[in-house]
Amino acid sequence: METLNFNCDIYQYRQPLFERALAYTRDEDDAADLVQDTFMKAFRFSAKFEMGSNVRAWLFTILKNTFLNHYYKLKRKNEMIQQEEDLTSLQLAPSASSNAGTAKFMMEDIQKSLNALPEDCRFCFCRYFEGYKYHEIAAELDIPLGTVKTKIHVARGLLKKMLKNYKSGMAA
C-alpha cells in the first residue's frame, strides 16, 4: 500500500480508536499514547497488511493487543512489587527480627553479584526476573531467542556460583 494513502486511510480512524482506547484506559493521556502506539505499529507493519482487508478491524486489533500487552506487563510488574513487599514484610516480622541483619547482608550480596554479571547477561536476567518472556527480551534487544536463553542460563549459573554460601535464604 502506498505510504501516503496508507497514512490517510488509517488516520480517519483516530477518533474511534481514541474512544475505544479511552474506554480501555479511562485516562485521556494514556488513551492518546495507546492510539499513537497503535499508529506506530500499523505503520511499522504496513507491509504485512493485506490489501482488501478491513483496515478498521486491523487497527482495532492492534489497539486491543497493544493495550493487553501493556496491561499484562504492568500486572507482572505489580506482582513483582507485591512479592517484594511480601518478602520485606516477612523479613521485618518480629520472629525474623534477629535475621534482619543477615537479610540485609544477603540482599547486598545479591545486588553485588548481579552487578558483577556481564552486562548483556545481567540485562537479560533482570528482564526475565521482571516477568518479561524470552521472546519479548529477544525482540527488545533484536537478538535471537536462543541467545537470550543462553544469556539467562549463564547468568543463573554465575549467580549460583557467587551465592553458593547461601542455602534456603540463610547464610551457611
The model's pLDDT over 68-113, given as tens digits with 9 standing for 90+, comes to 888 777 766 666 666 665 555 555 555 455 566 666 677 777 888 8
Q: What is the pTM of this model?
A: 0.44
pLDDT the model gives residue 64: 92
How far is residue 5's CA from residue 83's CA, in Å, rounded to a whole number?
49
How far is residue 35's CA from residue 41's CA, in Å, rounded to a whole number?
10
Domains recognised in the chain with CATH numbers? 1-92 (1.10.1740.10), 97-172 (1.10.10.10)
How far is residue 23's CA from residue 34's CA, in Å, rounded to a whole number?
11
For the stretch 6-19, pLDDT in tens is 667 788 999 999 99
